């Protein structure tokens, strides 16, 4: 199977997935207690005229199946509705908060790969040795600590006790920083939340790298590499790790959804002005159109990231295109 064809097929497979997500959203709106119009319009700032107009637009007098089709159509046209709390289009509000969350998630992901992969390699060198057991157990502990509690504890230690780092927000308020001073300020604010959010991912990546590398290192081509008299580093990194990293790519794709959950919690602890905080604000004001819109946007992002990792995998490993369905 050629690469473009594979990419096209994967992209087409993502379409029913997206439809399914929108259908779930539709079902939630209709299963939620109360009038769906109120659910979709929000409880505040609505007038009877608007509600009547919304009823007509959603086709509430028509059968459920027609309503679903209408909902699918408006959603896929990019119309996620209007938030009365903000008096703005839902999509525009969300896009405003996306960059902060991306900065947080992206840097924590980079951090976890940069630290997790070397740790995994180190652990796999001598399986079941003291070093391996230590790394494996510590990473399991990292995986078990709730991210929000870790955040609180890091605030206690690094800013209350040691006063090293800022803990709230994304930039110093009223500092008037511009250019590189501003970037540095944001970076200082980013250190704690990004590190905290990275830890759970780091644990997973460490364990996976270790397991995957152990498996690859027992394959025949590695034995061949050893028998050619190649050095240890060369065999591990050039032959072993290159192949062992492939499953990691997939896992990162699958973990993005999990990362979003962690981001919501981390943003709450550190008052980071991203989508997590937006979502909590939407929930507390019962701003349903915004809540539903955010769910769709987040899921679409996850689908896209999964698509990208699948394609990346296929580019890196041609075998996938043939064997993996």
Residues that bind another protein (CB under 8 A): 16-17, 20-21, 24, 28, 32-33, 39, 137, 140-141, 143-149, 152-153, 155-156, 160, 254, 257-258, 260-262, 264-265, 268, 279-280, 283-284, 291, 294-295, 298-299, 302-303, 306
As measured in angstroms, the least distance from the Cβ of 261 to another protein is 3
Q: Provide the minimum distance between the beta carbon of 237 and another protein in the complex, in angstroms, as a whole number.
A: 26
Contact 270/165 with Cβ under 8 angstroms? no
- Going by the DSSP 8-state scheme, the letter that residue 59 receives in this structure is T
Measured distance CA(52)–CA(209) in Å, rounded: 57
**Residue 211 or residue 230: which is nearer to another protein going by CB?**
211
CB of 176 to another protein, least distance (A): 27
CA distance linking residue 295 with residue 189, whole number of Å: 27
CB of 152 to another protein, least distance (A): 5
- Nearer to another protein (CB atom), residue 235 or residue 306: 306
Shortest reach from residue 322's CB to another protein, in Å: 19
Task: Write down the residue that tokens 């709730």 correspond to.
Answer: 146
In the complex, minimum distance from the CB of residue 18 to another protein, in angstroms, rounded to a whole number: 9
Token pair for 290:
């915004």
Contact 237, 117 (CB under 8 A): no
Q: Which residue has the tokens 């990419």?
A: 7
Cβ proximity to another protein, 2 vs 284, nearer residue: 284
Q: Which residue has the tokens 């190649």?
A: 230
Phi, psi of 82 (to 5 degrees): -130, 135
Separation between Cα atoms, residue 159 and residue 314, nearest integer Å? 45
- Min separation Cβ 130 and another protein, Å: 13
Asked whether 112 and 227 are in contact (CB, 8 A), the reply is no
Q: Identify which of residues 59 and 257 has a Cβ nearer to another protein in the complex.
A: 257
Q: At its nearest, how many Å lie between another protein and the CB of residue 49?
A: 26
Element (H, E) at 3: helix 3-31
Closest contact distance (angstroms) between CB of 229 and another protein is: 29
Q: Which is nearer to another protein, 148 or 182 (CB)?
A: 148
Cβ distance to another protein smaller for residue 113 or 290: 290
Nearer to another protein, 13 or 224 (CB): 13
Helical ranges in 218-325 per DSSP H: 220-227, 232-233, 242-270, 275-284, 288-316, 319-323
- The smaller minimum CB distance to another protein, of residues 198 and 302, is found at 302
- Give the C-alpha separation, 132 to 324, whole Å: 32
Q: Closer CB to another protein, residue 74 or residue 268?
A: 268
Burial string for 42-52 (b: 16+ CB within 10 Å, else e) reads: beeeeeeeeee
H or E, element range at 82: strand 82-83
Instruction: State how far the Cα of 301 lies from the Cα of 179, in Å rounded to an integer.
Output: 30
């Amino acid at each position: 199977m050629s690469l473009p064809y594979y990419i096209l097929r994967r992209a087409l497979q993502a379409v029913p997935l997206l439809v399914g997500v929108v259908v779930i959203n539709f079902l939630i709106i209709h299963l939620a207690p109360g009038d769906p119009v109120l659910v979709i319009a929000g409880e505040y700032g609505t007038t009877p005229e608007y509600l009547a107009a919304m009823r007509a637009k959603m086709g509430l007098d028509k059968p459920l199946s027609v309503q679903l089709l209408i909902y699918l159509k408006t959603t896929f046209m990019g119309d996620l509705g209007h938030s009365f709390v903000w008096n703005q289009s839902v999509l525009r509000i969300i896009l405003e908060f996306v960059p902060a969350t991306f900065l947080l998630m992206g840097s924590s992901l980079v951090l976890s790969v940069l630290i997790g992969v070397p740790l995994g390699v180190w652990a796999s060198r001598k399986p079941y040795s003291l070093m391996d057991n230590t790394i494996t157990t510590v990473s399991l502990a990292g995986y078990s600590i709730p991210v929000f509690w870790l955040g609180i504890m890091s605030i206690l230690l690094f800013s209350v006790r040691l006063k090293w780092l800022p803990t709230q927000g994304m930039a110093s308020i009223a500092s008037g920083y511009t250019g590189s001073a501003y970037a540095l300020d944001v970076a200082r604010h980013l250190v704690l939340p990004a590190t905290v959010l990275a830890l759970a991912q780091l644990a997973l990546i460490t364990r996976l790298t270790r397991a995957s590398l152990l498996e690859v290192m027992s394959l025949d081509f590695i034995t061949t590499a050893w028998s050619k008299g190649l050095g240890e580093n060369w065999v591990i990194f050039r032959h072993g790790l290159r192949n062992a990293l492939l499953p990691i790519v997939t896992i990162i794709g699958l973990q993005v959804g999990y990362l979003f959950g962690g981001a919501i919690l981390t943003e709450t602890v550190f008052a980071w002005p991203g989508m997590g905080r937006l979502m909590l604000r939407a929930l507390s004001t019962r701003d349903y159109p915004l809540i539903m819109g955010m769910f769709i946007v987040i899921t679409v992002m996850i689908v896209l990231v999964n698509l990208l990792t699948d394609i990346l995998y296929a580019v890196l490993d041609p075998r996938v295109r043939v064997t993996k369905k």
